[in-house]
Amino acid sequence: MKLHGYFRSSASYRVRIALNLKGLRVEHLAHHLRRGEQRDPSYLAINPQGLVPTLQDDSGAIITQSLAIIEWLDETHPEPPLLPPDALRRAKVRAFAEVLACDTHPVQNLKILARLRELGLKEDQVTAWAGWANREGLAACEKLIAGEQARFCFGDAPGLADLCLVPQLANARRFGVDVNAFPRLLKVEAVAKALPAFADAAPDKQPDAE
């Protein structure tokens, strides 16, 4: 398999963690987002959105969007599972993941921040916007797992929610968010980052890291 990504992309980060948890090897193909390499015609032929990550399986089939990739990995390589067996619990895990992957990350990613600059916002305003988006999403997630007592977000083994949480906390710190406001999330993060699957997926461990 081949994974098209970028070391600092939190969506790519999620998929790297999932691949590591599944024990799957891939060829990593980097596309430097700040240099616009994701808009190269050869990459747009693979992913028309010009976003990362994109996964190509062994047959050459292409899958885009990090959550779709992760769920495909979970269906095709079911051990260890990333979603619980109970339907209600699965819905709760997906809801938590989507708070971050669908409602938080997209409004503070590189594309949106570049557009804010084009519209004339000053750099401190752009950073403040990104910080606000992260605080809003993480605050909601802190409440969503307030009643959970397990080591990870929704159990004693890492799953989809944790794959989304750890990269988003990294983003929040980049934008100066005081993550100490989210003690429950930080407990999960500490346990997760002690695992090689999470540690090896970190941005600074990637071949294209700067």
If one counts the domains in the chain, the total is 2
Q: Which of 25, 48, 80 is the last residue of a domain?
A: 80
Would the CA dihedral through 64, 137, 192, 145 be positive or negative?
negative
pLDDT value at residue 131: 98
- pLDDT, tens only, 4-37: 999 999 999 999 999 999 999 999 999 999 999 9
Instruction: Mark whether 75 and 39 lie in a shared domain.
Output: yes
203: in domain:
no
For residue 12, give the DSSP letter: H
What mean pLDDT is predicted for residues 174-196?
A: 98
**How would residue 74 be classed by pLDDT, with cut points 50, 70 and 90?**
very high
Same domain, 98 and 187: yes
Q: Binning pLDDT at 50, 70 and 90, where does residue 197 land?
A: very high
Percent of the chain surpassing pLDDT 70: 100
String of b and e for 41-78 (b: at least 16 CB within 10 Å)?
A: eebeebbeebbbbbbbeeeeeebbbbbebbbbbbeebe
* The pLDDT value given to residue 136: 98
Residue 22 domain boundaries: 2-80
pLDDT band for position 160 (cuts 50, 70, 90): very high
Query: Looking at 80, 110, 138, which one is the last position of a domain?
Result: 80
Average pLDDT, the chain: 97
* 31 lies in the same domain as 67: yes
Do 96 and 189 share a structural domain? yes
Label residue 57 left, alpha or beta by phi (over 0 means left) and psi (-120 to 50 means alpha). beta
Looking at the structure, do residues 158 and 100 belong to the same domain, yes or no? yes
CATH code at position 32: 3.40.30.10
Are 96 and 185 contained in the same domain?
yes
